[in-house]
Amino acid sequence: MATEEKEKEITLTGNQVAGMLEREKSQLNSLNQQLGQMQQITGELKASAEALKEIGKQKNLKVLVPLGSGVMVEAQLENTETVKLSLPGNIIANRKREDAIKHLEKQAEEAGKQFEGLQKQFQQTATNVNNLSQLIQAAQKKAQEQKL
């Protein structure tokens, strides 16, 4: 037996469509903020990995260490082969510089994947906003034509 699929017609009020549009716009704003944060996180991870690579190339390097509130001290790096790595749960672990670089690069890659996923969501939501806006405009135009 062949079954026929019937298209179901759904009727929405103007207020319902407007509500949907506002929710999609809100989602779009939220996704935009998340994208900015992910971009910043990815940039920081990559910059940290690059800094660790550069530190390893130099001996007795003088650096400025920020203490907070715009206060810094000058320090000289004696050992650049071992670094302190902050882990979840306020744990500070000693890691070889190369292992820390790999850790940061892996985190940057994961953040990049999350960024791509957020971009896809953003694009889909932007399409939804556009479609709903067009639907509202078409309904308004039809209502104007019926008044004439």
CA dihedral 109, 110, 111, 113 (to 10 degrees): 90
DSSP lists the bridge partners of residue 60 as none
Give me the pLDDT at residue 4, please: 65
The residue with greater pLDDT, 61 or 49, is 49
**What's the pLDDT at 1?**
52
Mean pLDDT of 89-96: 94
pLDDT tens across 21-60, in order?
999 999 999 999 999 999 999 999 999 999 999 998 888 8
Nearest to 48 by CA among 105, 87, 90: 105
pLDDT value at 111 more than 90:
yes
Calculate the dihedral angle through the C-alpha atoms of 139, 142, 144, 148, rounding to the nearest 10 degrees.
-160
Q: What is the mean pLDDT of residues 68-76?
A: 95
**More confident site: 5 or 109:** 109
pLDDT averaged over the chain? Answer: 92
- pLDDT of res. 14: 82
Query: Strand ranges (DSSP E) for the chain?
Result: 61-68, 71-77, 82-87, 91-96
N residues, the chain: 148
Name the DSSP letter for residue 69.
Answer: T
* Whole-number Cα distances in Å, 15 to 18, 45, 83: 5, 45, 58
